[in-house]
Amino acid sequence: MAKVNEYFKKLPGSYLFADIAKKTAAYAAEHPDAKLIKMGIGDVTRPLAPAVIEAMHKAVDDMSKVETFHGYGPEQGYDFLRQAIVDHDYKARGVDLDIDEVFVSDGAKSDTGNIGDILSVDNKVAVCDPVYPVYVDTNVMAGRAGEYDPKTQRWSNIYYMPTTAENNFNPDLPTEPVDVIYLCSPNNPTGTTLDREQLTKWVNYANEHDAIIMFDAAYECFIQDPDQPHSIFEIPGAKTCAIEFRSFSKKAGFTGARCGYTVIPKDLVRDGQSLNAMWLRRQTTKFNGASYIIERGAEAVYTPEGNKQIEETLDYYRHNARVIKEGLESVGFDVYGAVSSPYIWCKTPNGMGSWDFFDLLLRQANIITTPGAGFGPSGEGYIRITAFGDADATEEAVERIKKMQF
Ligand code: MLT
């Protein structure tokens, strides 16, 4: 008899955002006249930049002629895009990378989930708490998480690093040995960032303990402070201990188009194995590359015109984030993030549970948010609000919240 992956049985019934979508759909079905405002999943709403669209149209035309048609592309991405990434995202910030250290993919979610393929099941994994659920759920699927304890809402073999207002969203170094550390800055869900000194602490720890840092920089384009690192590779020593994940989703509106990339330095070696060579082997076996049309679109993000256009869109979202932060603060909420991030991490009023506050906002204000508890036990007592919506709807949502009585 065929046996299934037994670890799936241990997972929660559905993925966090699928769960919220289900609850919201049920509410909308019961209240067809409700004017719902979506501030839950971090999905962009502004169209792709004209320069990106133009490049994609041209790429479609390429596909229509024998001379310029593209079949299977390189699994690790076309050189034109990898070179643009190396030049603009790294060289321009003082980081030298070889294009063979860049692997283009269909997004950071896939890569942060799939990277576990090249890791032993025996690794001890450390995550921030609250955390982007993909890191935990994919380690559960791989059998690395141990048993779930509903009382503590933790997995026995995962090391949780509380990342809360109490420690200024700067998690402490582990007090027991860990092998793989997931860090996300600007952080999803708290919207806070790790500065150069804080990242240096992690790089030194990882090198001293032969650990690997999985650094998710999907939101780096929102960083405002010019001194803040956008890449972990801006930190000396990171090339021997870190893998970095980047995405065009939030930076350039590719949530529907799908494109991202992962950087694995050739200097990253564990157990005598090059992680770069292992990932290449994994990708060439399981992945046929992102599409030519999409990669041409992503390349256009780096043209002067494309860059200007995507910055205008990012400013639109930055404005929304400011409106939410200032509006909520004006009525006494404790609010974090929002400055170098599209996420606003808001403390619930009067110690209310985060799912209760989620329900209250849905029922009384018809606003969809994400309950902090969905990101881990230390997210209890918070909700996450996204700034990716329409600007008028965002203002309307803030006005609705201001009128609520708590
Ligand atoms: C989120 O809302 O946390 C993100 O949109 C999820 C993702 O990027 O996969």
For the segment 20-38, what is each residue's pLDDT rounded down to a tens digit?
Answer: 999 999 999 999 999 999 9
- Closest C-alpha to ligand 1, atom 1: 42
The architecture in CATH of the region 14-43+305-402 reads Alpha-Beta Complex (3.90)
For residue 345, give the 3-state DSSP assignment.
strand
Distance CA 307, CA 8 (A): 42
Q: Is 41 in the pocket of ligand 1 (CB under 6 A)?
A: yes
Measuring CA to CA, how many Å separate 124 from each of 62, 87, 160, 215, 307? 47, 35, 11, 16, 40
Q: Which of 39, 188, 216, 248 to mutate to test the pocket of ligand 1 (most atoms within 8 A of CB)?
A: 188
- What is this structure's pTM? 0.97
pLDDT at position 358 is 96
Distance CA 121, CA 143 (A): 6
pLDDT at position 203 is 98
Q: Return the ligand 1 atom nearest residue 249 CA.
A: 8
pLDDT at position 13 is 75
For the chain, domain boundaries: 14-43+305-402, 53-302
Q: Which residues contact 347 (CB under 8 A, 6 or more apart)?
A: 165, 333, 334, 335, 381, 382
Q: Is 109 in the pocket of ligand 1 (CB under 6 A)?
A: yes
Q: Are 360 and 389 in contact (CB under 8 A)?
A: no
Residues of the chain with pLDDT under 70: none
Q: Return the ligand 1 atom nearest residue 189 CA.
A: 3
Amino acid at residue number 357: F
| Structure tokens belonging to residue 60 | 């479609």
pLDDT at position 63 is 98
Distance CA 103, CA 237 (A): 21
CATH number of 53-302: 3.40.640.10
Q: Following CA atoms 179, 114, 201, 343 in sequence, which dihedral angle do they give, to the nearest 10 degrees? A: -140
Q: Are 136 and 145 in contact (CB under 8 A)?
A: yes
Q: Is 107 in the pocket of ligand 1 (CB under 6 A)?
A: no
pLDDT at position 357 is 97
Tokens 């979610």 found at:
109
What's the full length of the chain, in residues? 406
Amino acid at residue number 65: K
Q: Is 42 in the pocket of ligand 1 (CB under 6 A)?
A: yes
**Which DSSP helix (H) or strand (E) runs through 199?**
helix 196-209
